[in-house]
Structures are given as structure tokens and as C-alpha cells.
Amino acid sequence: MACNSSTCQSNSGCYKREEEPISSKSSDSNQQSLCVKCKVNEPVSGTSDDGRFCRECFRSNLYGKFKLAVTSNAMITPSDNLLVAFSGGPSSRVVLQFVHEMQQRAQKNFDASKDRSLPVFGVGVTFIDESAYHSVPSCEIDKAIEDIRSIISNLAPPAKQLHVVPIESVFSLDSLDGRERLKTLVDSVSDATGKEDLLLYLRMLALQKVASENGYNRLVLGLCTSRIACHVITATVKGQGYSLPADIQYVDSRWEIPVVLPLRDCLAQELNMLCHLDGLKTLEFSNVPCSGINGLVSSFVKLLQEENPSRECTIVRTAGKLTPFHFNRIPELNDSNVPLATRRRQKRFNLKPSESISSESFCPLCFSPLSKSDLLSSSNIESCQNYDILDAACCSSCRFQIFPKDPSSMEHFLSVLPQPLLARAQNCSNGNRSSLRKQIQDCLLSESEDET
């Protein structure tokens, strides 16, 4: 270990401490125990980087990462209306805080400017209530919602609307029926990991629904480096190597409402630390522990991270070198309302089309882009029956871990699937067939072959 104290003059390694332990101690420890950035304050202990920063610098460093992600990917423009997905955990608490601070600054600028040409972006918050599946006692959920209300009302103006939505709202019927239906749907999946993943997909569906019904045009998630690192490994383990790059970029606009991940470069430890330092209230549910593949992977990654504090970053950086998809960018802004600087910045940082994969077919369940081999294997399943439409359009991972194995329970599974997913399946399978057909067009002899 090199000695980084400036008073040390030895070239070949520092022996000072051993030689004069008492005299050097006072000056040395003073020197070393200052924040590496401002060199004024004492660093806080317990941060991931071993107390290099003082509280203020730690905070501004973290906010800096958030801001860089936002600006360099043009995630937020003045005319936007953001919906923050809030689970109550540290990550979503920090993302809410940072978005709020950014909004406050924009408001300040707006109030100070003469022409008031730049509007302030709007922020809303949503909490998806998953008590329908995870049997959380109703008093606990009511308490949680109460806490969330107080967190949000305690944020300074501009006021933020809160949407508390039960996950069964994806069924778009009255929620009493929906609760039952959700339970039947999830229970019909036998694989433990498949259950968890299906709930995840339904949650995204619910988030999209809230956003779209309430006029939001961006969905902000608090996914941090640590969670993304876990996702990289789980996706690899589930054989989703093709679609993996789609999920781990800053921007994902394959959804109706584009999803942005401004905390992509922040570690979970850092976010926990910030919540602790700033006294940001987080909610803790008596949560069902992850089982199956997801649980195994997250404990594996946690172990690796303990051994080497940069492991999660390395994992995400490695996966970041995989080719992203064409939808991993904010749709080009041609609106003249958008300031030139923003547009220019977006042009510079945004993904170039040549560096991305374009993909037209998606798995109707998890909505991941399908590879050619997925499409080919699905076209082999030749049948006109209803359930095959969905089965054929799915990615191999969903087919394995979510779909019922025997055809008799398939009818039942389909009957409880939410309408949007079914519609997606219908669309996708038609799209898949026609895109396949296009590829083999020149070799087809008769037009009617397709009808058999």
C-alpha cells in the first residue's frame, strides 16, 4: 500500500509509521482524515468508498451522478411530466428526492427569469400496492400508504400528485374480481422464479397504465447499479443474453411511456448511506424473501461485492459493452419548444443508430426483444389453436418458467391473463409471422402456402 500522505518523502514505500509512530501520528491522521474533495471537512465513515468524502461532498457526488445521467441522456426536458415509481425503498426514496431537487431548481430559475420561456417539468408519484399477492397485513399497507402521503406532502412545492394503485388494476375490472384473478394467474405458474418474474412484468404493466392514464410522458425508476448487476446475472442465467442489453440502459422507450433509470451509476450502499445521512424516511415491509434464481443471484452478487467493492460496477460496465437496441434512447426531439442546447446535447450523447440493434418483435409476456432463433423456434410450432398464438410468440425463458407445461392448463392460464398482454400476444405473433415471411419471400412459390 502506498502512502498517500503528502508529508511522506520516501520513494520506496513508507516506513514512517513504524519508525516514529507517536510524533507523526497527529499530523498524519489529520492529513488523512480530511475529505478528499473539499479538504476541509471530516469524511463520514461507513460509506462505500471508505470515508473518502465528507457528508456534503458525498451528497453532491451522488447527485452529480444522477444529474449527469439525466442531462447526458436528455431524460428530462422542461415540458415533461414525470411519474416516479415509488416503492418506499432507499433507491426510490433517493430518486424521488433528487427529482424533487431538480424540479425545485428549475422552479427557482423559472421564477427568476423574465420571459418565463422555460416551463418547469411536472412530477407525480405512484405506489403500486402488491398486497393482493404478497400477504401483507392490511394495517401494514395502510400505514405504509399513510407514510408515503406524509413523505410526499412534506416535500416543498410544486405539489406532487400521488397515485396509489393496486397491482390488480392491470385487469381493468373492478378490483375485487381482479384480486382473485391475480392470485389465480400467479398461482398457475409452478416455477418459483417464474412467479416472481411474472409479478415484475405485471408491475411494469401497472406502472405504464398509471402513467398513460394520467398524462405522464416519462416513468422514472430508481434502479441502481447493484440491482442492475443482479439483473445482468439473472438474465444471463435465464438464457436472456440477447435481450439483456435492452434492460440495462439509461433509457428504455420500447414501452408506451419511456422508462428512464437516472440512478444507473449509483450503488445501493451509497443510496442507503444517503438516506441514513439525510434522514430520508424509507419503508420496510415484512417482505417475502426472494427465492429461486433471483434470490440465489442476489446473494451471490452481494458476496462478490463484499469481496471487491467495485464488482457490481464491473458487471454493469461489462454488460454495458453489449449492443443496445434502437429503442434505448429518448425519441428524437424536433419540438421547437425544446431549447437548442438540450437538443444538441441529446444529439451528441444519444445512441447512434449504427450502434444499436433494431428489433420489431417482442415477447408478449416480458416484452423483451426476440432474437432470430427465438422466432424460428416459435414458427416451428405449427398449430391454429388459440393458446399457441401466445406460446409461439414468447421468448424461450417465459415459455419455460411461466407457461404451464401441459396444454390443458394453458386455456385456463390464458383466460386469467390481463387483456393488454393478450392483445400484445396477438399483435406480436402476427408481426413475427409477417416479418419471417418477408425474409423468405423470394423463395415462396405460391401465396396461398401460408393459409394451410
Can you give the binding site for another protein, defined by CB under 8 A?
191, 193, 232-233, 235-242, 244-245, 292-293, 296, 300, 303-304, 307-308, 311, 314-315, 317-319, 321-324, 354-355, 357, 371, 373, 396-397, 400, 405
Shortest distance (Å) from residue 138 CB to another protein: 33
Shortest distance (Å) from residue 323 CB to another protein: 5
Shortest distance (Å) from residue 171 CB to another protein: 29
Instruction: Return the amino acid letter for 228.
Output: I
Return all residues near 370 (Cβ < 8 A) that are at least 6 apart.
242, 243, 359, 361, 362, 363, 378, 393, 395, 432
Residue 37: other Cβ atoms inside 10 A:
16
Q: Which is nearer to another protein, 263 or 316 (CB)?
A: 316
Instruction: Return the amino acid letter for 339.
Output: P
Q: Which is nearer to another protein, 77 or 240 (CB)?
A: 240
Q: Which is nearer to another protein, 89 or 245 (CB)?
A: 245
Q: Which is nearer to another protein, 321 or 348 (CB)?
A: 321
Shortest distance (Å) from residue 198 CB to another protein: 16
Q: Which is nearer to another protein, 160 or 399 (CB)?
A: 399
Would you say the C-alpha torsion 219, 280, 228, 343 has a positive or negative sign?
A: positive
Q: Which is nearer to another protein, 352 or 438 (CB)?
A: 352
Q: Say how far apart CA 265 and CA 225 lie, in whole Å.
A: 5
- Edge-to-edge strand ranges of the sheet holding 259-260: 161-166, 122-129, 81-85, 218-220, 259-260, 251-252
Shortest distance (Å) from residue 259 CB to another protein: 21
Q: Say how far apart CA 318 and CA 248 lie, in whole Å.
A: 11
Shortest distance (Å) from residue 271 CB to another protein: 22
Shortest distance (Å) from residue 238 CB to another protein: 6
H-assigned helices in 238-286: 244-247, 268-278
Q: Which is nearer to another protein, 308 or 434 (CB)?
A: 308
Q: At what angle do helices 292-307 and 225-237 cross, to 10 degrees?
A: 130
Shortest distance (Å) from residue 32 CB to another protein: 25
Tell me how far CA of residue 199 lies from CA of 195, 255, 285, 336, in angstroms: 6, 17, 17, 40
Report whether 235 contacts 241 (CB < 8 A).
Answer: yes
Q: Which is nearer to another protein, 105 or 405 (CB)?
A: 405
Give the DSSP H/E element, type plus range, for residue 328: none
**Residue 219: alpha-carbon gap to chain centroid:** 10
Give the DSSP H/E element, type plus range, for residue 377: helix 372-380
